[in-house]
């Protein structure tokens, strides 16, 4: 559903408050980026707005969208520099029928390599946290 009430106890809100751990990639005044624990490809990174209660893109204030996508571009460039993929999927889902599972606005950055199929979300199970932390450090080192 596209409409609903923001749940302040969603997992991304808990990550922002420091109540849940994550493999942190980048943070500034506006965005927080971290590794997806159910990656569809090596280096699958999420970028979320820090000061938002928008469940999806349609609910967000324009200035926050601007800051979010500036952060997305910055992190996507770092993913590219760190992992040298053949391409990048940058995607954002709005509502369950579109594939959204966490109702806090977020953007996926998914590296793609020629001939390597993209996994389905969560189909491979939860990733190893130490591997995610190493990837996060590798990507973070390339953030300009």
* DSSP bridge pairs for 126: none
Q: Which residues contact 40 (CB under 8 A, 6 or more apart)?
A: 108, 110, 118, 119, 120, 121
Question: Per the residue annotation, which of 44, 104, 106, 108 is the catalytic one?
Answer: 106
Q: Among positive and negative, which fits the CA dihedral 98, 54, 5, 58?
A: negative
Residue 42 token pair = 């090596």
Instruction: Return d(Cα 10, Cα 103) in angstroms, integer.
Output: 7
44 carries an active-site annotation: no
> Are 110 and 75 in contact, with CB atoms under 8 Å apart?
no
Residues designated as active site = 106
């Amino acid at each position: 559903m596209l409409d609903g009430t923001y749940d302040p106890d969603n997992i991304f809100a808990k990550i922002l408050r420091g109540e849940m751990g994550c493999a942190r990639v980048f943070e500034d005044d506006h965005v927080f980026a971290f590794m997806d624990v159910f990656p569809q490809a090596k280096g699958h990174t999420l970028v979320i707005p820090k000061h938002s209660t928008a469940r999806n893109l349609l609910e967000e204030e324009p200035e926050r969208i601007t800051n979010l996508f500036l952060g997305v571009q910055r992190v996507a460039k770092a993913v590219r520099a760190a992992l040298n993929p053949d391409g990048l999927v940058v995607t954002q889902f709005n509502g369950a029928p579109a594939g959204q599972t966490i109702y806090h606005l977020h953007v996926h950055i998914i590296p793609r390599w020629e001939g390597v199929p993209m996994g389905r979300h969560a189909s491979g199970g939860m990733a190893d946290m130490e591997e995610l932390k190493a990837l996060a450090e590798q990507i973070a080192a390339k953030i300009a």
